[in-house]
Amino acid sequence: MEIANSVALVTGGASGLGAATVQTLLAAGGRAVILDREGSPGADLARELGDAARFVAADVTREDQVRAAVAAARQAFGGLHIAVNCAGVGVAAKTISKRGPFPLELFAKCIEVNLIGTFNVIRLAAEAMAEGTPGPDGERGVIVNTASVAAFEGQIGQAAYSASKGGVVGMTLPIARDLAPYGIRVVTIAPGLFNTPMLAMMPEEGRKKLASQIPFPQRLGEPREYAQLVKAIVENSMLNGETIRLDGAIRMQPA
């Protein structure tokens, strides 16, 4: 799919991987709706990027709010061709500890946002894409999801997070098959350790220790590198139904 003149919806688009994706798509001639939480820097980012960007405050787990964001993309820019799911939360707790068992509400919240929220956006974005005019090869849309290497090598305390991201990986192929008749592709990226706001809260010593685990390049990934892969996925029509690790060959150890 050509990015120029295409319209994207990017969840978690106000910062980190999502913001880099928005900037990369706009630099390639696309337009984007930034979907992020109320109180995020999304409105400021949209103003900074100009007329090719809009911000919609929304919770990915809310059908009405995601529908409103999809409608905003179609009303502002005339359609929807790309959806990138970057919104997510991290939860860390052992199954049992001195404080007792893993709080069930935290486990449920992680699944709700990372897995159910991703599916909510997929289904509503796909509904809009399916109504579009097909391009070359009959292509109408591209959906890119964000999993994690934790889907494959979850660490101690990552039961909820790994389950949520494993679910994203697991649904990638069946959804790609579901949407194939409509000309909509589905691909998932599984990032390793990236320089995102979540890791930015760690002390520098801890960040260096994490980076040292990566075989090569021995550093944290940068959001722009995630965004470069999104761009490649959108532009390469043979990429479909696949999960791509973006991790510098790291294989996470138990702790």
Catalytic-labelled residue, pool 55, 77, 107, 161: 161
State the distance between the two ends of the chain, measured CA to CA, in whole angstroms: 40
Alpha-carbon distance of 147 to 161, in angstroms, equals 10
Helix axis angle for 117-129 and 63-77, nearest 10°, is 40
Alpha-carbon distance of 57 to 42, in angstroms, equals 8
> Is 182 among the catalytic positions?
no
Alpha-carbon distance of 225 to 213, in angstroms, equals 18
C-alpha count within 13 angstroms, C-beta hemisphere, residue 46: 20
Alpha-carbon distance of 172 to 98, in angstroms, equals 37
Helices (H), 138-222: 159-179, 197-200, 204-211
Token pair for residue 175? 């959804």
Point out the residues that are catalytic. Answer: 161
